[in-house]
Structure 1
């Protein structure tokens, strides 16, 4: 498996694709990240065309097991961020 792309590499690729400097590309990436974070934190969802949908899902209170001791513990309800991958991206990876 290839190493994941770092933020620096992503900014450089974005700057090249946008035909602009790295500072502008970094600002655009930070703005997108901020918008997604704000929307998902508020309980909404963001669809990135061709990539997927990022959303927040609430998990109910449940019983979990401590792997070290085997003891059952009650875990409070919480929220988890999920992402559904777009069919176009799945097809491009598999095809």
Structure 2
């Protein structure tokens, strides 16, 4: 399912216009992105948690030459599914 199909499905289920659903989805992604950029965690009980995982600087190898190189520290967004969502998926 792509974004367009998701918007259509939510609009049909909630009896709201596609335009309004699209605005809400855009706002949702902006708020989640802004909060994660600040290092905050977003918990949606029953659905899941959005948070930032930090990776320390580490050594790696260039697969082509075998040369040892340093991989810089980084942050990565992470989603952990909640119990209710896991239960639905595993039915």
1:41 aligns with 2:71: no
Equivalent-residue separation in structure 2 for 1:62 and 1:20 (angstroms): 49
* Aligned residue runs from structure 1 range 1-95, under 5 A: 5-95=1-91
Q: Write out per-residue CA displacement over residues 34-88 of structure 1, whole angstroms, 9 at most, x where no aligned residue.
A: 1100000110011233321011122111001212222211111111111111111
Number of residue pairs matched by the alignment: 91
Q: CA RMSD in A?
A: 1.1
| Structure 1 residue runs without a partner (length 5+) | none
SS in 2 for 1:33: helix
Q: TM-score, normalised by structure 1?
A: 0.88
Equivalent-residue separation in structure 2 for 1:35 and 1:49 (angstroms): 17
Q: TM-score, normalised by structure 2?
A: 0.91
Equivalent-residue separation in structure 2 for 1:25 and 1:70 (angstroms): 50
